[in-house]
Amino acid sequence: MFFPLNKFKVVGHSMEPAFKEGNRILVNRLAYLFSRPKPNDIVAIKHPRERDKILLKIIKMSLPKNQYFVVGINPSDSCDSRNFGSISKDLIFGKVWFSY
Amino acid sequence: MIKTLLKIIDRISPPKLIYAHCDIPCGIYDPHQAQLAAHTVIRMVNLINELKPTSEEPDLKERKRIIHQISRYTAVKEEHAELVKKEIRIIWADYFKSEHLEKYPGLHNLVFEIMKLASKARQEVNLEASQQLLSKVQEFAEIFFKTKGVEPIRIKTVYPTEGEIVLHK
């Protein structure tokens, strides 16, 4: 069933200090229905190889053909576009709305 | 207000996990396993080729022995040729980045050749293809170590295949 808002609990340290391990976030899955993701957006993405796994990343840059380069805030502890390449818009699960 | 409400909902329906870290420890890559597997493929081809019946007209027991041995060698050959592909794919997909490709523009083609040779080594009892497979995997290993900033060296192994393996200084 599709829920436009999804709750998540953060695991890992690649997005610190903005998002610490254990933080809870609300993700809006409809945020990009009528707009395009833009740099510095914090997004939940589907892992390119394990689609049921959701990753927390920040968009570093928009590329042609609806491709996006995503990274972690702490690059040394992040598995991101430097490893699996740019991602297409359909892999963007939603935009992080706020943490609580 | 909303945040408090969400915290209450979490007690009833816990949030899913979102990962802000690597799925596996990034940076731990090594072409060693691929080379071992390529050596194993060569060894299995040699063992198959060395199989000889004990007489010109082998009896049923002897035929069974040979068929059984061939089956076992073939199974190991299949497994290790596939392991070569898996190990190379992981390093190629997860480790190499665009800046590596700029420096080593033949990398994609090299991986393509490894995939094709590994398939050929699976499909046939082909010593030449198996040796070419090892050779290409060694080229791949040399590029890998160079991108790590270390000098690759070829060491003669003590394996029955008597070939080399690429390590680094």
Write the CB contacts of A55 (distance below 8 Å, at least 6 apart in sequence).
A44, A45, A46, A47, A79, A80, B18, B19, B20
Position with higher pLDDT, B53 vs A75: B53
A8 min Cα distance to partner chain B (Å): 5
pLDDT of A95 above 70: yes
What is the interface size between A and B, counted as CB pairs within 8 Å?
85
With beta carbons under 8 A apart, name residues in chain A contacting B101.
Answer: none
B106-135 pLDDT tens trace = 999 999 999 999 999 999 999 999 999 999
User: Is B18 in Cβ contact with A9 (below 8 Å)?
Assistant: yes
Measure CB to CB from residue B22 to each of A15, A24, A79 and give the nearest one.
A79
ipTM: 0.90
Residues of A labelled catalytic: 14, 57
Q: Is the pTM higher than 0.95?
A: no
Predicted local confidence at residue B152, as pLDDT: 96
The domain ranges of chain A are 5-99
A5-31 pLDDT tens trace = 999 999 887 888 899 889 999 999 999
User: Is A83 in Cβ contact with B16 (below 8 Å)?
Assistant: no
Residue for token digits 């995503």? A70
Phi, psi of B111 (to 5 degrees): -65, -40
With beta carbons under 8 A apart, name residues in chain B contacting A55.
Answer: 18-20
Percent of chain B as helix, strand, coil, to the nearest 5: 65, 10, 25
Q: For residues A83-96, give the mean pLDDT.
A: 91
Give kind and range of the element (H or E) at residue A93: strand A92-99
How distant is the alpha carbon of residue A90 from its chain centre?
12
Per DSSP, the residues of B11-58 read HHSPPEEEE-S-SS-TT---THHHHHHHHHHHHHHHHHHH---SSSS-
| CATH architecture classification, A5-99 | Ribbon (2.10)
What domains can be seen in chain B, in order of their start residue? 32-168 (1.20.120.400)
Share the mean pLDDT of chain B.
92
